[in-house]
Amino acid sequence: MHDQVSGWPFSKLCRAFEEELLPSLSFIIELHSLLPIDSEDHSSQSTFDMQFCLGSDGLEPVVTCLHSFHHLITVKPPILSQPNQQTAICLINPYAHALQKLMQHLQNTCDHVYYDLRMISDLQALLQDKGHFLAVFIIIQLILKKCAANT
C-alpha cells in the first residue's frame, strides 16, 4: 500500500481536497445550518426556502463527488493505509452528514422532482407528459424487433 492516487501522494491529495474542493461544497454546510430544528417552525422553514436553490443538475454533482471520494476510501484492495482512510473520512464526514440531513429534509418537505437526479426527474417528466404514449411505443418497438429477427 503506497497511499498514492493516480500518482498523487495522499498528503497532496488531501491538501488539494481541502483547498480546492471543500470550499466549493461549503454551501452544503451553510444550508444545513439553516435547516429548521422544529418541523413546525414556519419562520425557519421560510428562511431555508429563501436560501435554498438548485440549478438544473440539482445535487447530482455533489453526490457524484462524494460517491467518488467514498469509493477511493473503500476500494478493495485498499489504496490508502488505515490512518489515511481515517483522515479522509474525517475530511468528508461533515459534508456527507450535512447532505444526508438536507436530503431527509427535502424528502419530508417538498416534491421529489425538485431534488431527484436529472435523469430521474427527466423520466418523471416524460412519464407525466407523454406516459400514455410510452407503453405503446415500447410495445411497437419490441414487435418490430421480433419481426425483424424472424425474417
Note whether 32 and 72 are same-domain residues.
yes
Note whether 105 and 150 are same-domain residues.
no
Number of domains in the chain: 2
Note whether 39 and 106 are same-domain residues.
yes
- DSSP states along 9-76: EHHHHHHHIIIIIGGGGHHHHHHHHHS-SSTT-HHHHHHHHHH----TTTTHHHHHHHHHHHHHHH-S
Note whether 59 and 130 are same-domain residues.
no
Note whether 95 and 131 are same-domain residues.
no
Give the residue numbers spanning the domain of 68.
4-116
Query: First and final CA of the chain: distance in angstroms?
Result: 57
**Predicted model pTM:** 0.62
Paired strand residues for 9: 4
Note whether 57 and 123 are same-domain residues.
no
Q: What is the pLDDT of residue 27?
A: 85
Q: pLDDT by residue for the chain (151 residues), tens digit each? A: 455 556 677 778 778 888 888 888 888 888 888 887 766 666 766 777 766 666 666 677 888 888 888 888 888 888 888 888 888 888 889 988 998 888 888 777 777 666 666 677 777 777 777 766 666 667 666 777 777 777 6
